[in-house]
Amino acid sequence: MRGTSLESVMALPAKYVMSLVGGVVSIGGFVALVTANSVKTWVRSHPYPIYLALILAILIVAGTLDYAYNLRKRLVQPTDHDTKLYTAAQGVLPADGAVIGWLKRADMTAAGVTDFPADVLAALEEAAEYARTRPVGFDNPRLAASFETLASAITSFCTAVEHWTIAVHANVGSADGTALRKSHQGLVRAYDEFVRTAHASGIDTDG
């Protein structure tokens, strides 16, 4: 599924380019039509039918836009697979759980070696392992990319904690905690972005 998500992301620019080209061609054709001399002459001779046609066109466009909007709302509904996968991810790291709560309250600038609860680090490592071993990823490309970013941020933070702890015990200069603080901030941002992306895709299982 990772390959499928990557292909979907790569295909998006091509779709946008094709849509843009189609729009330019359509507008160009319309402009060429309305500026033709024969059309100008006909419009001057038949103003009333043109007025009625304009009103009809506006009504058709309004109805079409309303239909397209409602159709888009239906199409952006998350798949059952994405909802279940997000629920499982939230089960490992719930938004209102102790791990995320500690991460958002913790002050890395004043952290000591004993300030990292073992259950927090264990839960983060479990989440990283879950991200690596899941057989099928998210169907939604944006959600898949956001989850990959979160998994990477979790790994970076756990690695930073390990290196910082070793440096503290060894009493070396790299124990200043700069990398630890950056990885901590990156992890919190990645988690919040993952939740926001899930909600934007129509998933809302964590209140």
Per-residue pLDDT, averaged over 126-130, amounts to 82
Per-residue pLDDT, averaged over 64-89, amounts to 73
Residue 156 or residue 108, greater confidence: 156
Q: pLDDT grade, residue 5 (50/70/90)? A: very low
Asked whether residue 196 carries a pLDDT value surpassing 90, the answer given is yes
Per-residue pLDDT, averaged over 179-187, amounts to 92
Query: Around Cβ 53, how many Cβ atoms within 10 Å?
Result: 11
Residue 194: per-residue pLDDT = 94
Residue 176 or residue 72, greater confidence: 176
Question: What is the CATH code for 80-200?
Answer: 1.20.120
Per-residue pLDDT, averaged over 131-138, amounts to 78
Asked whether residue 10 carries a pLDDT value surpassing 60, the answer given is no
Angle at 145 between CA 130 and CA 182, to 5 degrees: 80
Asked whether residue 190 carries a pLDDT value surpassing 60, the answer given is yes
State the Cα–Cα distance between residues 75 and 60, nearest whole angstrom.
Answer: 22
Residue 131: per-residue pLDDT = 76
Residue 77: per-residue pLDDT = 78
- pTM of the full structure: 0.61
* 102-118: b (≥16 Cβ within 10 Å) or e: ebeebebeebeeeebee
Instruction: Choose among 183, 109, 181, 180: nearest CA to 150.
Output: 183
Please provide the average confidence, as pLDDT, over all residues in the chain: 75
Residue 100: per-residue pLDDT = 92
Residue 150's Cα: distance from chain center in Å? 11
Residue 6: per-residue pLDDT = 44
Residue 2: per-residue pLDDT = 42
